[in-house]
Chain A
Amino acid sequence: MAATPAHRLLRLSATALVAAGLWFGLAVTASAEDPSAAPGASASASASASASAVGSVVASPGASPSAEPLVSAPPVPSPIAHPPAGDTNGCFDCHSAVNDKQAEISAAWETSVHAAADVGCADCHGGDPRSDQITVGMSTEAGFLGSPDRTQTVGVCGSCHANVEVMRPYNLPTDQYVKYWSSVHGQRLAIANDTRVAVCTDCHGSHDVRKTSDPNAKVFPLNVPELCAGCHADAKRMEPYGIPTDQFEIYSGSVHGKALLEEQDVRAPSCASCHGSHDAKPPRATEVVEVCGKCHTATQELYEQSRHAQLEQAAPKCWTCHGTHDVSPPGSRLFFHPETPDYECSTCHDLANRTLRLEIDRFANEADRRCDTCHHPDSQIYAQVQGIADALGGAEGAYAAAGLRIEDAARLGMITADAEVGLAQARTSLIQAQAAVHTTKLKLVSDLSTDARIKADEAQAMAIAKVDESTFRRQAMIVVLALIALSVVFLVVIKRQLDRELEGR
């Protein structure tokens, strides 16, 4: 089967998810061997390590590198010491008037959460905020540090944000510092001194830091995908790391992306929901069910009852059927290919030792994420899948038919509340039946599907009765109109007679 460019991209995306953990370890190790190497050199090393990691993970989807970071977080620096500003703010007074750029920075700070919490310039830059003299306020004697560079930034932020006592009044967590250093970003910064990775200010801003609950903040849930895409969709910026840059585009078209970006549903997952924020890194193969299960709790429980879950390393996981960044709405199409696919033993078996294992790239293309990609039509399991598909299809058909009938009745102006309640009950059973597919248990799915079909049929019967009632009303209306017309004719005849009598007089 020839691989299309899209197929290759998706395969790369899926494999990258699994590979990233291993890649991360290898890449960092490659850099760690020579911490003094230039960023470009370390990036090249990691890219080549990544390439080799991808190849090895395709052959072994269950591979799970260690979750432990290679280096731990450096000690938390002390907050920057400076004389208390009191009621003065010499830095702001001068900088807001010195030129347009400084005025813009001052204005940005004024709107920030830091300004609201009395966190001033000297808290990050040092110096003496009481003085309005540049030679005093910004002197090294007064402890002025200038602008922290990208390496120092995490420490400057962490000096307060990792300090329990400082953060206590704001009820903010203090683990971001440790989490950051454990992330792909932090580890590359710590080991390879790769200053191109994201630091605190890249996501939160520097002078204009806002709360995550502020819709104008770059880290507000609705804005997160675009924030991450700012770097991760930049092919030039990502080139040294050898990772794909189409995740944002793919995610935007997914069921998750549409819910978050189009429907503005903040409950929908953004990049950070699966990859973490401060501790950003790709979920490992063994973690994916847990990551998806954070939101899809009930589905995770059903999956864990299934034969699939018992296969452990060789088990199909969430992404095997649903994809990763490109999760599309589930449906009956996921059961079978429209035509019987070509079967290759290596899709599900390790030919060397004849054990089960999945060839991940076989599922990179959405059209191949089907039950019959693995289960052959001659197999007993295929018949079971067929039974599940038929049961569910019958219930879905009954549900859709009932919905159409209710729409017909509503269009005729009938009150359909009782039928809609029945349909909602059918929907609940149908959702349960659809979710039960994750258990791979035919009887459970059949029982729930039958329940859904019975409820849908009852709702349809109610709707049909309403349509019939409306038809009766329309027929009765014609009879009444005919009687009214007869009465009018009778009255008009009398009226003409009276008019003639009046004219005669």
Chain B
Amino acid sequence: MATEQATGGSPRRTARWLDDRTRLGPVLAAMLHVRIPMTARTFYFGGIALFLFGIQVVTGTLLALYYKPTPEAAYESVQFITSDVSFGWLIRSLHHWAANLMILFVVLHLLRVFFQAAYKFPREVTWVVGCGLLLLTLGFGFTGYLLPWDQRAYWATVVGTEIAGGVPVIGDSLLLLLRGGSDVSGATMSRFFGIHVLVLPLALGGLLAAHLVLVHQLGLANPKKPEPRVRTAEADDEPLRPFFPHYILDEVVAWYVLLAVLVVLASLYPAGLEEPANILDAGHPKPEWYYLAVYEMLKFLPKDIGILAPIVGLGVVIVWPFLDRSPEVLARRRKVVVGGATLIVLALVFLTWRGYVA
């Protein structure tokens, strides 16, 4: 009867019953009951990227139940998933679109943090970890793209690995490491699949946990004024609002909107499948859209410079908080940095567009 009272009553009683047996109440309270500045504007980009990662984990796991990672069977297994498995088309299409949107939102999140100067003291490490998450997300895209083993997948991987093979000094070794041989083959597929479903999820899970802990500990940045190095009474008077449930509710609404977008994309533009990979017919010598800027750049610049430029650029982005020591956060007082970054973003968008229509 006592058990019935504890479990069959209100949710509050159920929570107490669980807390009595886990003692996680204080941990949850510490995680949820924090306060954030009223002026914080995240546009929910980071949370949406997290939501999309969750979708990728769920849909990816379901796809792995049917997918066969060999050149002989991969294409047919993807065809089987899409045509014969119940809701297979939906799961694959959600995985496909969520992957693209995840890259987009991770980049938007990075740009939001950059333009709001939220990478400055004390969030430099959070920024570096976030850059790691961006690289891992791009890695997910690169390794996952090959797996359907159709013409587009195969030739995009040929081009992508060749770009990697052009890196000075280590290019040949890197190419061999990525492909597992001189050509894109079954060996490439094996390692891409292994990296895609084991290495990258574990790495991303670890970095994501670190990123969230840091965000939790440091709180959201105020885009109006820099974080004081010493806490003052004025800083303590800043208007705040609860993270839970107020901010979380906004975040969930954003997730619902993204879910609606995903449903529309999956229904109207389901993930397709081209002809099976044919190593004799270079039908699609083009990488995926998020590598098109680099691909285009290689047409204008000498090969070494075209490959080194994005690597150096990415390195600069990662260590940027340690280069930009100014405490200023307002964009109108960071004209050079904001203007330069805007130009670079516009150039990348232009190159991506050129690569897309080429």
State the A residues within 8 Å of B (CB).
413-415, 417-418, 473-474, 476-477, 480-481, 484-485, 487-488, 491-492, 494-495, 498-499, 502
Contact = CB atoms under 8 A, between A and B. Distances in A.
A491 B263 contact: no
B253 A502 contact: no
B259 interface: yes
Nearest to B78: A415
A466 to B, nearest CB: 9
Contact of A495 (B82, B250, B272, B273): B250
Given A481-B264, A495-B246, A495-B253, A415 B259 contact: no
B267 A415 contact: no
A413 B256 contact: no
Interface in B172-226: none
A344 B11 CA distance: 100
Contacts of A414: 270
Interface in B252-274: 252-253, 256-257, 259-260, 263-264, 267-270, 272-273
Contact of A481 (B82, B249, B260): B260
Given A477-B263, A481-B260, A481-B263, A415 B82 contact: yes
What secondary structure prevails in chain A residues at the interface with B?
Answer: helix
A491 B245 CA distance: 11
A231 B260 CA distance: 70
Contact of B269 (A413, A417, A494): A413
B260 A473 contact: no
B267 A491 contact: no
A417 B273 contact: yes
B256 A491 contact: yes
Contacts of B259: 484
B241 interface: yes
Question: When A and B form their complex, which 5 residue pairs have the shortest distance between CB atoms, in order from nearest?
Answer: A477-B267, A495-B249, A413-B270, A484-B260, A473-B267
B79 interface: yes
Nearest to B75: A417
Contacts of A417: 79, 83, 273
A481 B262 CA distance: 10
Interface string B267-306: 1111011000000000000000000000000000000000
Nearest to A478: B267
9 contacts: A413-B268, A413-B269, A413-B272, A415-B272, A473-B267, A474-B267, A477-B267, A491-B253, A494-B249
A237 to B, nearest CB: 44
Given A485-B260, A502-B241, A502-B246, 4 more contacts: A413-B269, A417-B83, A474-B268, A495-B250
B257 A488 contact: yes
Nearest to B82: A415
Residue picked from A473, A476, A499, most chain B C-beta under 10 Å: A473
Contacts of B273: 415, 417
B339 interface: no
B315 interface: no
B264 A487 contact: no
A480 B262 CA distance: 11
A402 to B, nearest CB: 18
B242 interface: yes
Contacts of A502: 241-242, 246
A287 to B, nearest CB: 38
B263 A484 contact: yes
Given A413-B272, A477-B263, A498 B249 contact: yes
Interface of B: 79, 82-83, 89, 241-242, 245-246, 249-250, 252-253, 256-257, 259-260, 263-264, 267-270, 272-273
A330 to B, nearest CB: 28
Contact of A480 (B79, B89, B263, B269): B263
A485 B267 CA distance: 17
A497 to B, nearest CB: 10
Contacts of A492: 253
Given A415-B83, A418-B83, A484 B267 contact: no
Nearest to B254: A488
Contacts of A488: 253, 256-257
A419 to B, nearest CB: 11
A484 B264 CA distance: 12
Contacts of B82: 415
Contacts of A484: 256, 259-260, 263
Contacts of A415: 79, 82-83, 89, 272-273
B278 to A, nearest CB: 15
Contact of A498 (B246, B253, B256): B246
Contacts of A487: 256
Contact of B246 (A413, A473, A499): A499
B228 to A, nearest CB: 25
A493 to B, nearest CB: 10
A120 B240 CA distance: 94
A488 B256 CA distance: 7
Nearest to B260: A484
B73 to A, nearest CB: 15
B269 A477 contact: no
A492 B252 CA distance: 10
A470 to B, nearest CB: 8
A414 B252 CA distance: 32
Residue picked from A418, A484, A485, most chain B C-beta under 10 Å: A484
Contacts of A498: 245-246, 249
Residue picked from B241, B242, B256, B273, most chain A C-beta under 10 Å: B256
Contacts of A494: 249
A382 to B, nearest CB: 45
A481 B82 CA distance: 22
Contacts of A476: 267
Contacts of B269: 413
B191 to A, nearest CB: 27
A473 B89 CA distance: 10
Contact of A491 (B242, B252, B264, B268): B252
Contacts of B242: 502
A410 to B, nearest CB: 9
A417 B259 CA distance: 29
A217 to B, nearest CB: 26
Nearest to A491: B253
Contacts of B270: 413-414, 473
A77 B89 CA distance: 76
B273 to A, nearest CB: 5
B310 to A, nearest CB: 33
A391 B220 CA distance: 75
Contacts of A495: 246, 249-250, 253
A56 B265 CA distance: 73
B138 to A, nearest CB: 26
A417 to B, nearest CB: 6
A499 B82 CA distance: 45
A499 B249 CA distance: 11
Contacts of A480: 260, 263
Contacts of B249: 491, 494-495, 498
Nearest to A476: B267
A499 B242 CA distance: 10
Contacts of A491: 249, 252-253, 256
A133 B168 CA distance: 56
Nearest to A496: B249
A495 B251 CA distance: 11
